């Protein structure tokens, strides 16, 4: 191989890698631009305030109403419930796997949790409809089991694998010397976990929780199947709700392209994007601050 | 006066015997150093005294380590009270990723052994004893990880002093430090021996001869020779010891 050819092939490879990198960024920019273009068109018909804070979502009545506060509240309730369930369980599971479980059980648990992450969301939704929804109905004596609570429980199941595996990594990567220092000072195993390891792993725990939340907020299929799809501001976790994501998924097929309804669904997409962006931003700021 | 009496101590990691019939009496309020080549069992011996070896899978031990009349290797012995009395300083400084003050109060909080109102005084006393107070009194809220390595190691010693131990085990405490920091830590140890029984493991023979009152030489899991530091370094009884300290073996 002569030098010229080697230089040329190096050049080609470099450019090919550069191109791949640029393309992924380009796609993100294009998607974002498209989302903005289609979504912002809605505001020729309704004000931003009426859109965000309007209580009624009647996109195809005459005149149509595009208020999404009930959808936002639906997402908030379902997500909040899922966080309350999944974050403590996920972190506790991560502590058990990384600090307490015997080596054999650790392997079994880790692959089990990875399998849980591999279940498609529509299957989780389906299992939820057939098992969880009747259970919630009977246990709480409700007229329907299709509630925010059912959605929260199913979403918690989907967030837990993410939270466990990232939090477990965080615990695993804590230098062993912190643990030794605590034990050598006479701390019990539990005191060591509670006062040192959780503290040391905190940035990782926050990251794990945020990624879990990210998964929950964006989830569509399972919540569409089991939360009842009622676009009404919920009074409690036992009410049926409809989330932002489910609304887009359910209505995009029937919205006429270029209609106000179509633009409204894209505007919901912008809202989702902003929420997810804010969560990631907060997580980022928090993680960077902790590390210093 | 003997503070720690090790009797017929054997320790196994699985099939490997890391300590063979070790007998040693460590005097109170003196510095005792253990020397020997890497893997000779000196750190293992140290970590058996505060039972840190319990953490190692497959470690098995028989024999006795008697501190103040009780065998600390008894399965029923209370590890928390043992480790409160027997503090350990590690090879790499290992302050917790918390503030300077929290590092020092960690032991107190864990043991519930002091009132919150006394914490400030204890922090000050402990830092004074390791000569860090003047440097750090305005930086008590700073992360301990922002300190220099020498300061970190001092802080680790202060953290032990706060829980009022009787014995300090030091596992190559200066190996991560530069020569100047090493000298200052050695000075600190000499000051501390008035109140504490100190056992130090070191690969640095000059260090052992500079600071310790008695020295033990270990080789392949056995204690070959143990006696006054002067004797070990100037007039060893065993040929192996002589070969090691003169650099012909090890």
Q: What pLDDT digit, counting tens, does each position of B148-157 carry? A: 999 999 999 9
Q: How many CB pairs lie under 8 A apart between chains A and B?
A: 66
DSSP B143: B
Confirm whether B162 is domain-assigned.
no
Classify residue A124 as exposed, middle or buried by CB count within 10 Å of its CB (0-12, 13-18, 19+): buried
Spatial CA neighbour of A136 closest among A217, A246, A233, A240 = A240
* Token couple for A170: 């965080």
Residues in chain A: 292
Are residue A241 and residue A271 in the same domain, yes or no? yes
Give the separation between CA A22 and CA B196, rounded to whole angstroms. 64
Confirm whether A237 is domain-assigned.
yes
Are residue A38 and residue A62 in the same domain, yes or no? no
Cβ contacts of B102 on chain A, cutoff 8 Å: none
CATH number of the structural domain spanning residue B233:
3.40.50.300
Classify residue B45 as exposed, middle or buried by CB count within 10 Å of its CB (0-12, 13-18, 19+): buried
Are residue A197 and residue A253 in the same domain, yes or no? yes
Beta-ladder partners of B32: B199, B214
* Token couple for A75: 């997402």
Cβ contacts of A182 on chain B, cutoff 8 Å: 96, 106, 110
For strands B214-219 and B167-171, give the pairing.
Answer: unpaired
Residue A178 to residue B156, Cβ atoms within 8 A: no
Residue with token string 């006479």: A186
Residue A181 to residue B107, Cβ atoms within 8 A: no
Q: In the sheet where B16-27 sits, what is the strand order?
A: B16-27, B2-13, B59-67, B70-71
Give the separation between CA B156 and CA B94, rounded to whole angstroms. 7
Mutate to test the interface with B, among A173, A182, A184 (most CBs of B within 10 A): A184
Residues in chain B: 250
| Residue B184, pLDDT score | 86
At residue B246 the predicted structure's pLDDT band, cuts being 50, 70 and 90, is confident
| Residue B146, pLDDT score | 92
Cβ contacts of A204 on chain B, cutoff 8 Å: none
Helix A260-291 to helix A202-218 angle (10° resolution) is 170
* B87 Cβ under 8 Å from any chain A Cβ: yes
Cβ contacts of A177 on chain B, cutoff 8 Å: 90, 92, 94
Tell me the shortest Cα–Cα distance from B96 to chain A, in angstroms: 6
Confirm whether B34 is domain-assigned.
yes
- ipTM tops 0.95: no
> Averaged over B221-229, what is the pLDDT?
94
Three-state SS at A198: helix
Confirm whether B143 is domain-assigned.
no
Are residue A268 and residue A188 in the same domain, yes or no? yes
Sign for the CA dihedral angle at A35, A41, A42, A48 comes to: positive
Are residue A85 and residue A194 in the same domain, yes or no? yes
pLDDT tens track for B119-138 = 999 999 999 988 899 999 89
Confirm whether A53 is domain-assigned.
no
CA B194 to chain centre: 15
* B47 Cβ under 8 Å from any chain A Cβ: no
Are residue A68 and residue A130 in the same domain, yes or no? yes
CATH number of the structural domain spanning residue A226:
1.10.3720.10
**Chain B, nearest residue to A192 by Cα:** B110
Determine the structural domain holding residue B33 and report its residue range: 2-96+169-245
Spatial CA neighbour of A246 closest among A46, A43, A69, A74 = A74
Residue B163 to residue A186, Cβ atoms within 8 A: yes
Are residue A34 and residue A161 in the same domain, yes or no? no
| Residue A292, pLDDT score | 45
Number of structural domains chain B divides into: 1
| Residue A290, pLDDT score | 55
Confirm whether A150 is domain-assigned.
yes
Residue B23 has pLDDT above 90, yes or no: yes
pLDDT tens track for B84-102 = 999 999 999 999 999 999 9
* B162 Cβ under 8 Å from any chain A Cβ: no
Number of structural domains chain A divides into: 2
Helix, strand, coil percentages in chain B from 3-state DSSP, rounded to 5: 40, 30, 30
Q: Rounded to the nearest 5 degrees, what angle is found at the Cα of A280, between the Cα atoms of A266 and A57?
A: 30
Are residue A194 and residue A277 in the same domain, yes or no? yes
Determine the structural domain holding residue A10 and report its residue range: 3-42
| Residue B30, pLDDT score | 95
For residues B32 and B215, the answer to whether their CB atoms sit within 8 Å is yes
Residue with token string 């596992």: B171
Residue B31 has pLDDT above 80, yes or no: yes
Residue with token string 């012909």: B248
| Residue B250, pLDDT score | 64
Are residue A30 and residue A105 in the same domain, yes or no? no
Are residue A140 and residue A200 in the same domain, yes or no? yes
Classify residue A215 as exposed, middle or buried by CB count within 10 Å of its CB (0-12, 13-18, 19+): buried
For residues A161 and A208, the answer to whether their CB atoms sit within 8 Å is no
B154-177 burial, b for 16+ CB within 10 Å, e for fewer? bbbbbbbbbbbbbbbbbbbbbebb
Residue A102: C-alpha distances to residues A99, A107, A170, A190 (Å): 9, 9, 18, 16
- Counting residues of chain B whose pLDDT is more than 70, the rounded percentage is 100
Are residue A36 and residue A95 in the same domain, yes or no? no
Beta-ladder partners of B35: B217
Sign for the CA dihedral angle at B47, B50, B52, B58 comes to: positive
Residue A185 to residue B80, Cβ atoms within 8 A: no
> Averaged over B199-205, what is the pLDDT?
93
One pLDDT digit (tens) per residue for chain A, 292 residues: 688 888 899 999 999 999 999 999 999 999 999 999 999 988 888 888 888 898 888 888 888 888 899 999 989 899 999 999 999 999 999 999 999 998 889 999 999 998 888 888 889 889 989 999 889 888 888 888 888 899 999 999 899 999 999 899 899 889 888 999 999 999 999 999 999 999 889 888 988 888 888 888 888 888 888 888 888 888 888 888 899 999 999 888 888 888 889 999 999 999 999 988 888 888 777 767 655 4
| Residue A280, pLDDT score | 82
Give the separation between CA B2 and CA B24, rounded to whole angstroms. 10
Beta-ladder partners of B66: B5, B71
Give the separation between CA B157 and CA B188, rounded to whole angstroms. 10
Find the chain A residues whose C-beta atoms sit closer than 8 A to any C-beta of B: 103, 175, 177-178, 180-188, 191, 195-196, 199-200, 292
* Token couple for B95: 């302050």
Confirm whether B179 is domain-assigned.
yes
Confirm whether B154 is domain-assigned.
no
Cβ contacts of B83 on chain A, cutoff 8 Å: 183-186
For strands B86-89 and B167-171, give the pairing.
Answer: parallel
Cβ contacts of B97 on chain A, cutoff 8 Å: 178, 199-200
Beta strands in chain B (DSSP E): 2-13, 16-27, 31-35, 59-67, 70-71, 86-89, 167-171, 197-201, 214-219, 222-228
Confirm whether B54 is domain-assigned.
yes
* B79 Cβ under 8 Å from any chain A Cβ: yes
Confirm whether B181 is domain-assigned.
yes
For residues B154 and B185, the answer to whether their CB atoms sit within 8 Å is yes
Residue A181 to residue B156, Cβ atoms within 8 A: yes
At residue B113 the predicted structure's pLDDT band, cuts being 50, 70 and 90, is confident
| Residue B209, pLDDT score | 93
Beta strands in chain A (DSSP E): 57-58, 65-66
Confirm whether B211 is domain-assigned.
yes
Of A178, A186, A199, the CB nearest to B84: A186
Are residue A129 and residue A192 in the same domain, yes or no? yes
- What residues contact B235, with CB distance under 8 A and at least 6 apart? none
Mutate to test the interface with B, among A100, A106, A181, A191 (most CBs of B within 10 A): A181
Residue A177 to residue B80, Cβ atoms within 8 A: no
* B84 Cβ under 8 Å from any chain A Cβ: yes
């Amino acid at each position: 191989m002569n030098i010229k050819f080697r230089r040329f092939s190096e050049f080609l490879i470099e450019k090919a890698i550069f191109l791949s990198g640029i393309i992924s960024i380009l796609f993100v920019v294009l998607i974002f631009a498209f989302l903005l273009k289609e979504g912002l068109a809605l505001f020729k018909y309704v004000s931003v305030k009426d859109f965000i804070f309007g209580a009624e979502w009647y996109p195809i009545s005459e005149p149509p109403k595009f208020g999404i506060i009930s959808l936002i509240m639906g997402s908030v309730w379902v997500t909040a419930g899922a966080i309350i369930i999944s974050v403590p369980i996920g972190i506790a599971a991560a502590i058990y796997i990384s600090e307490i479980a015997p080596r054999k059980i650790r392997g079994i648990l880790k692959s089990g949790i990875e399998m849980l992450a591999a279940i498609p969301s529509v299957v989780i939704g389906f299992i939820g409809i057939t098992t969880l929804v009747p259970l919630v109905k009977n246990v709480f004596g409700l007229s329907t089991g299709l509630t925010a609570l059912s959605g929260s429980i199913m979403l918690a199941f989907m967030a837990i694998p993410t939270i466990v595996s990232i939090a477990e990594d965080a615990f695993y990567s804590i230098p062993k010397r912190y643990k030794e220092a605590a034990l050598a000072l006479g701390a019990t195993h539990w005191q060591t976990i509670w006062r040192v390891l959780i503290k040391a792993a905190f940035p990782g725990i926050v990251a794990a929780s945020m990624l879990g939340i990210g998964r929950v907020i964006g989830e569509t299929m399972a919540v569409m199947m089991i939360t009842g799809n009622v676009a009404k501001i919920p009074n409690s976790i036992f009410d049926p709700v409809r989330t932002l994501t489910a609304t887009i998924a359910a209505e995009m097929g029937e919205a006429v392209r270029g209609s106000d309804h179509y633009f409204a669904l894209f505007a919901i997409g912008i809202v989702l994007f902003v929420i997810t962006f804010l969560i990631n931003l907060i997580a980022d700021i928090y993680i960077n601050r902790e590390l210093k | 006066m003997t503070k720690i009496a090790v009797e017929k101590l054997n320790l196994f990691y699985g099939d490997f015997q890391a300590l063979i019939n070790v007998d040693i009496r460590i005097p109170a309020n003196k510095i005792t150093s253990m020397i020997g080549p890497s893997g000779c069992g000196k750190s293992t011996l140290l970590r058996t005294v505060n039972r840190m070896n319990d953490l190692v899978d497959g470690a098995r031990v028989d024999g006795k380590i008697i501190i103040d009349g009780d065998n600390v290797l008894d399965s029923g012995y209370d590890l928390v009270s043992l480790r409160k009395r027997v503090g350990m300083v590690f090879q790499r400084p290992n302050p917790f990723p918390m503030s300077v003050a929290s590092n020092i109060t960690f032991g107190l909080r864990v043991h519930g052994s002091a009132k919150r109102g006394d914490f400030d005084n204890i922090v000050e006393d402990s830092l004074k004893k390791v000569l860090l107070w003047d440097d750090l009194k305005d930086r008590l809220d700073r992360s301990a990880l922002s300190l220099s390595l020498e300061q970190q190691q001092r802080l680790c010693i202060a953290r032990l002093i706060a829980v009022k131990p009787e014995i300090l085990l030091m596992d190559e405490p200066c190996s991560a430090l530069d020569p100047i920091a090493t000298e200052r830590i050695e000075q600190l140890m000499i000051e501390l021996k008035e109140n504490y029984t100190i056992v130090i493991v070191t690969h640095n023979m000059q260090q052992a001869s500079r600071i310790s009152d008695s020295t033990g030489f270990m080789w392949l899991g056995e204690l070959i020779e143990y006696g006054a530091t002067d004797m070990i370094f100037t007039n060893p009884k065993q040929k192996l010891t002589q070969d090691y300290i003169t650099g012909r073996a090890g």
